[in-house]
Structure 1
Amino acid sequence: MSTARPETTRAAGMPTNETPIRDLGVVGDRRSAAVIDRMGRILWYCPCRFDGPSLLAGLLDPEGGDWRIEMEGAEQGPRRYLDGSGMLETTIRAPGGDLVVLDWMTSGPQAPTGVLVREFGAAPADVRIVLDARPGYGRGTAKLEAMETGVSVEGMGLQGSHPLRIEDHRVVMELPAGETGWMLLSDAPLAGADHATLDNWRGHTLGHWRGLDAAVNYDGAFADEVRRSLRAIRLCTHEESGATVAAVTTSLPEIAGGGRNYDYRYVWLRDAGMIVSALLRLCQRDSEGEQYLKFICRCTGTSEKYPMAVFTNLDCETAPRETELPFEGWRGSRPVRIGNGAADQLQLDAYANVALAAKLLYREGKSDGHAHWDVVADICDFLADNWQQDDHGIWEETPPMPYVSGKVVAACALESAAAYADEAEAARWRAAAGEIRDWVTRNGLTSEGAYAVYPGAEEVDVTAALFPVWDYCAADTPEMIATMAALERDWSPDGQLYHRRLECDDGRREGVFIAAGFWVAQYWVMRGELERARAIIAANVAQANDLGLFSEEADPRSGEMLGNIPQAFAHAGLIGAVIDLNRALDASA
């Protein structure tokens, strides 16, 4: 396949890879997702699965491919998700009126699989819709072939309400002023579609999303924000396997123009533990949280050294090794990476979080018996034997260090699992947890009496806010009071947003870490300072975009969003903090 490309003629406006992360929205079918900006440009799309090769990657390079809408004088307008679903309605302003675009992917058992649909309301002026496909992460020119039902795009089926033509290696549809229309791209060619077909699919897709929403059992504080966060997690969830990827994008940077740019389209054990915990408390029996835990527990055998790899692909297989793409990067942030090189790191907290999630499953009574006990027991045996080892920590840093947070959460996992173990297992795990506690008391405090990042360090990390949440200690111990004071003094610009502490860099150069603010809010709930917790939650909720989506971080000065999106970890953090707050409010009423 030839890689030569003609010069690109683009609609007026900023290059695609300059698009603010705050302007991004996401639609999906719980297999894959498309990322769309406020001008209706689809800037990222990996057909078939989240971690597959992109067909559109304009988000990371102006020549990466996009699916754009060209209209004279176009400006961004409002947008919203339709009726609580993952279907995104975008309004594009023009001098002659508004163009309303509805983007969605077919979902549910009564709709076909793998169809990305774009519906256009009455055009206020002549509109030109251009699909500029660049398959294989922009490495090639798409093979286009005219067919009776439309155009074959790399073997995928593209159809439209109006004639499609191939023009300079792109597919173009003209929508005349006053007319409505649609385009769809399917993973494989489909029989000819029409408006009635789309009406049928749309109805089934909305019904599928409403069915998911019916499983939610929550109407307390921040109810709208909780539902938006649950939708974001679902947009990151692979329905067939039950797995949730960390985000649907790769290489959106933690520092604009910097090199901390990673591929988040995989399934992290650490994220799994916290996401499962959030979903199990939010949803009713047979929830998505239980399905996610089942996925994680199928991933045994993915590491030769550890109970399982700390993250996997959607098939419970080790994620591919990291490689770099010759893209410009988002606002020049290079390298652009696919794959991830941390799969075989030792991360004690990742394994411990799986055991803590299983404990919640047992405690909440949402499982018959002790589901996945063999995996939980293997993890606890591993933690009991290996807690003394240095690990890479929650932030996956090198070289490994004796991170206190990893030891602490290992102790909590061992103690929680012991309550469900036989007598011999329980005794062994409790003994190991006691050794960890002794080690932390002797080695894990700063000169101020706060929990140190590792022995000898005088700094603290926001992960320590979770120690009471994990049941390691009470929230009002002298060590926790000293830790929270140090966090607020050294790592918070305002007492409500928090940076993480990094070994390999100064975490204050990054944005504030959104999930961390919710962890701090959980701490203050445990201290009984509910209004303070509510204010912290509100401050971090304000870092979301207009659709309620969080990226990983936000610049506290400019408000610019940073990192991959939507960040499932942050959305799980919001759910956990809000549920804790609501339970405390109910108890105090």
Structure 2
Amino acid sequence: MAEAVTDPNLELWPIGNCQVSGLIDQSASLVWGCVPRVDGDPVFCALLNGEKRDSGVWRFELENQTSVTQHYERNTAILVTRLESEDGSAVEIRDFCPRYERSGRMYRPVAFARIVRPVSGVPRLKVTLNPMRDYGATIAEKTNGTNHIRYLVGPQAMRLSTDAPVGYVLESRYYRVEADQHFFLGPDEPFVGNVRSELRRMEQSTARYWKLWVRGLHIPLEWQDEVIRCAITLKLCQHEETGAIVAALTTSIPEAAHSERNWDYRFCWIRDSYYTVQALNRLGALDVLEKYLGYLRNIVDSARGGQIQPLYSVMGEGELDETTAAHLAGYRGMGPVRKGNAAYKQIQHDCYGQIVLPTAQAFFDRRLLRMADDNDFESLEEVGEMAWKMHDQPDAGLWEFRTRQEVHTYSAVMSWAACDRLAKVAANIDKADRQQVWQERADAIRAKIEDKAWVENGQEGGHYGASFESDYLDASLLQMVELRFLQPDNPRFQSTFTAIEKTLRRGEHMLRYASEDDFGLPETAFNVCTFWLIEALHLAGRDEEARTLFTAMLSHTTESGLLSEDLDFETGELWGNFPQTYSLVGVINCAGLLSRPWSEMR
């Protein structure tokens, strides 16, 4: 019998429907899934539950199992897993969360669907279904009927409706699988209709939804499969009810082993979301942008012209108190497991630009169902006022330092971008007086950045510093071209790029910074920074090197085609929360930059 996988790793396969999501591991186990939404209680928490392998999990396992193979159905979020045993018996498991239009609305229940099909021999299967509650504090109490099991996972319950033998599921006992079996874990209400026919219909409708969504994407000629998979996963990171986009689906996967850099990423960072909608917009996925713009309008309304937080809950809640889950051991026992994120209290001035930039598109893009109007411009000017007011004030920066503040160059450049784009919007809607105001402000911020952020360095030509007060470097300076603050051939950008490569590059990877922070020296590369390096190499005309590095980064993706936040630049192992939107954005953007044009199709 093959040895079971007991040591958690990031070879995980996301499923979801923009309401709930789950992560399936290499043993066909649902090891992470929160209800009733992404930032809810992880009823499936085996990923962070230490050696408690059978708690917080939903696993299918063959008797004398020898192998597992997995893939997604093409252009969908439906996972197909094949389990084989030593006698040649095999089953196929199809995992998905239903998502399709029904009765004029998108049907996306708080539900996980799993279909088991015998495909060879006479397989004997064991089902282990033990959801937990209160962040791993207890196994959920359960009751059952003839064809269902009810799990009390919190104030509400979930119900498993199935045509499999309920007794075998309750006792986690091996049994023969002689026909297809269907499992629907969803709302605590009687399942309407025949579970077999209904789940097959749900699967077909869900597959059709995803295939039609992918069909509308504008993708590059090369790396199509990689881009499509990243695009689908980015969409799964959006909470469709409000339009919020979370940074990742998990909490507390450490950035490096035993580093205690364990953070809860199941929230909407204004910064991360900006990069996500920017990448998906380049693919033509306007549905994500439109939903997110609605979320931003609510955030701006709630702020009433005041300070914008760097992150909010998917429902727009501002208070995200950070505590620890005492009953969860953590990823590979490397706690703590955090819920909530104290970064919401931080001052991060780059967020104003990251609200203005995606919103500005709504004044120009005639494809949108709702284009922005004068009222929206007035609200956006309030955000711009804050950018202008705070452009030269200290903040925690995009890397969210917890113990120090400086005037970070990236934040100042984002403030410049806010004023610059407001000037362009004003010109587009014939407000010449406001255009002049915002252009003058943009020019003033530019002059200050050139004066305060530039560091002379003798014969080496100098470079921009990461902050106005210091001369250290960080990878965010490479974004000065992407934000259109500088042109690629600008001598100051070129000398800054040279200095960044020399200081922060580690072979095929890039650090975000090399100086000590609140937790010491960084131990892993930050994946999005490596993609920024690849973009900069392309802009510098070093395309062959850029393609080589891009290929190397793709070799580090999981079998599901995805990336986490961080990577050990010596061992190649992935670390950090998963799947990380920043990293997937990097794949999409670099593929678009480096791909041969469609005119060369052959």
1:432-581 equivalent positions in 2, closer than 5 A = 432-448=441-457, 449-494=462-507, 496-501=508-513, 504=517, 509-581=522-594
Q: Which residue of 1 aligns with 2:39?
A: 51
Bigger mean CA offset, 125-134 vs 519-528: 519-528
Q: Supply the distance in 1 between the matched residues of 2:205 and 2:159 (Cα, whole angstroms).
A: 21
With over 3 angstroms needed to count, the CA separation of the structure-2 counterparts of 1:303 and 1:254, relative to structure 1, is farther
Q: Supply the distance in 1 between the matched residues of 2:87 and 2:295 (Cα, whole angstroms).
A: 51
Cα drift, residue 302 of structure 1? 4.7
- Counterpart of 1:427 (choices 431, 436, 443) is 436
Alpha-carbon contact 1:393-1:400 (below 8 Å) kept: yes
AA matched with 1:441: E
Counterpart residue number, 1:19: 8
Measure the CA separation in 2 of the matches of 1:318 and 1:260.
22
The match for 2:284 is: 283
Offset of residue 566 of structure 1: 1.0
- Residues 564 and 441 from structure 1, CA distance in 2 versus in 1: closer, same or farther, beyond 3 angstroms? same
Pair 1:184-2:184 in alignment: yes
Q: Is the 8 A contact 1:277 1:360 kept in 2?
A: no
Q: 1:563 to 1:75 in 2, by over 3 A?
A: farther
| Aligned partner of residue 15 in structure 2, secondary structure | strand
Secondary structure of the 2:42 match is: coil
**Offset from partner CA, 1:478-512 (integer Å, 9 cap, x none):** 22122212222221112x42111165158863322
CA contact (8 A) 2:300 2:383 kept: no
CA contact (8 A) 1:514 1:570 kept: yes
**Residue pair 1:322, 1:337 contacting (<8 A) in 2 also:** yes
2:587 counterpart SS class: helix
Q: What residue ranges of structure 2 are gaps of 5+ in the alignment?
A: none
1:413 corresponds to which letter in structure 2? A
Deviation at 1:149, TM superposition (A): 3.1
Q: Which range is displaced more, 379-388 or 66-75?
A: 66-75
Distance 2:587 2:277 in 1: 13
Deviations 1:139-177 (A, max 9, x none): 22312111243111112111222221388xx66364415
Q: Does 1:329 align with 2:330?
A: yes
Contact 2:80 2:94 in 1 (8 A): yes
Preserved CA contact (<8 Å) 1:47 1:187: no
Contact preservation (8 Å) 1:280, 1:287: no
Per the alignment, residue 4 of structure 1 pairs with none
Contact 2:362 2:371 in 1 (8 A): no
Map 1:21-36; keep pairs closer than 5 Å.
21=10, 23-36=11-24
Return closer, same or farther for 1:32/1:171 CA change in 2, 3 Å cut-off.
farther
Aligned to 1:8: none
Looking at structure 2, the residues matched to 409 and 556 of structure 1 have their Cα atoms a distance apart, in angstroms, of 29
Partner SS, residue 332 of structure 2: helix
Is the 1:347–1:392 Cα contact (8 Å) retained in structure 2? yes
Shift, 1:13, TM fit: 3.0
The correspondence for 2:27, drawn from 3, 25, 39, is 39
Please tell me whether the aligned partners of residues 220 and 598 of structure 2 are also in contact (alpha carbons under 8 angstroms). no
- What is the SS of the residue equivalent to 1:84? coil
Answer whether contact 2:220 2:591 (CA < 8 A) is retained: no
> What SS class does the counterpart of residue 91 from structure 1 fall into?
strand
Would you say the 8 A contact 2:240–2:291 is kept in 1? no
User: Within 2, Cα distance between the matches of 1:546 and 1:561?
Assistant: 12
1:3 aligns with: none
CA distance in 1, matches of 2:36, 2:519: 38
Aligned with 2:160 (options 158, 161, 169): 158
Residues in 2 aligned to 1:294 and 1:56: alpha-carbon distance in whole angstroms: 31
Q: Determine the C-alpha separation between the residues in 2 that align with 1:563 and 1:255.
A: 7
Q: CA deviation at 1:429?
A: 2.5
In 2: Cα distance, 1:549 partner to 1:261 partner? 20
Cα distance in structure 2, aligned partners of 1:207 and 1:319: 39
Query: Could you say if the C-alpha distance between residues 112 and 489 of structure 1 is closer, same or farther in structure 2, counting changes exceeding 3 Å?
Result: closer
SS of structure 2 residue aligned to 1:127: strand
TM-score by length of 2: 0.88
1:403 maps to which of 398, 401, 408: 408
Residue of structure 2 equivalent to 1:95? 86
Residues of 2 paired with 1:132 and 1:243: CA distance?
30
Alignment of 1:243 with 2:244, yes or no, is: yes
Residue 54 of structure 1, CA deviation: 1.3
Matches within 5 A, 1:140-289: 140-154=138-152, 155-165=157-167, 172=172, 174-191=174-191, 193-283=194-284, 286-289=286-289
The answer to whether 1:108 aligns with 2:100 is: yes
Indicate the RMSD between aligned Cα atoms, in angstroms.
Answer: 2.6
AA aligned opposite 1:100: E
Given the alignment, which residue of 57, 72, 76 partners 2:63? 72
Q: What SS does the aligned partner of 1:488 have?
A: helix
Contact 1:525 1:584 in 2 (8 A): no
Farther off after superposition, 462-471 or 414-423: 414-423
* Alpha carbons 1:38, 1:76 under 8 Å: kept: no
Residues 319 and 127 from structure 1, CA distance in 2 versus in 1: closer, same or farther, beyond 3 angstroms?
farther
Answer whether contact 1:77 1:92 (CA < 8 A) is retained: yes
- Greater shift, 496-505 or 85-94, is seen at 496-505
Secondary structure class of the residue paired with 1:292: helix
Give distance in 2, aligned partners of 1:114 and 1:204: 17
SS of the residue aligned with 1:385?
Answer: helix
- Do the aligned partners of residues 426 and 385 (structure 1) sit closer, same or farther apart at CA in structure 2, a change above 3 Å counting? farther
Which secondary structure state, in structure 1, belongs to the residue aligned with residue 289 of structure 2?
helix
Which residue does 1:374 correspond to in 2? Answer: 378
Query: 8 Å contact 2:56–2:139 — kept in the other structure?
Result: no
The 1:555–1:93 alpha-carbon spacing in structure 2 relative to 1, beyond 3 Å, is farther
Deviation per CA, 1:448-493: give whole Å up to 9, x if none.
Answer: 3111111343321111111011011111222212221222222111
User: Secondary structure at the residue paired with 1:261?
Assistant: coil
Instruction: Identify which of 127, 130, 138 aligns with 1:129.
Output: 127
Moved over 6 A (4+): 583-587
For structure 1, which segment, 172-181 or 261-270, has the greater mean C-alpha deviation from structure 2 after superposition? 172-181
For residues 224-276 of structure 1, give each alpha carbon's deviation from its aligned partner in whole angstroms, at most 9, with x where no partner exists: 22111101101212222222211111111101222111111111100121112
TM-score, normalisation: structure 1? 0.90
Find the aligned partners of 1:227 and 1:143 in 2 and give their Cα distance.
40
How much does 1:49 deviate? 0.7
| CA pair 227-253 structure 1, distance change in 2 beyond 3 A | same
Q: Deviations over 1:185-207 (max 9, x none)?
A: 11222326432221111111111
CA change 1:124–1:405 in 2 (3 A) is farther
Runs of 5+ unmatched residues, structure 1: 1-10
Measured against aligned partners, the alpha-carbon deviations of 1:13-68 in whole angstroms (never above 9, x if no partner) come to 344xx3111x1111111111111101011111112211111111111113451112
State the one-letter code of the partner of 2:534: A
CA distance in 2, matches of 1:80, 1:507: 39
Deviations 1:416-459 (A, max 9, x none): 22112233333333333233222222221334311111134332
Tell me which moved more, 128-137 or 482-491: 482-491
Summarize the Cα distance change of 1:81–1:309 in structure 2 as closer, same or farther, 3 Å threshold.
Answer: same
Residue 384 of structure 1 is matched in structure 2 by 388
Distance 1:75 1:458, change over 3 A: farther
Change (3 A) 1:300 1:332: same
What percentage of residue pairs aligned between the two structures are identical? 24
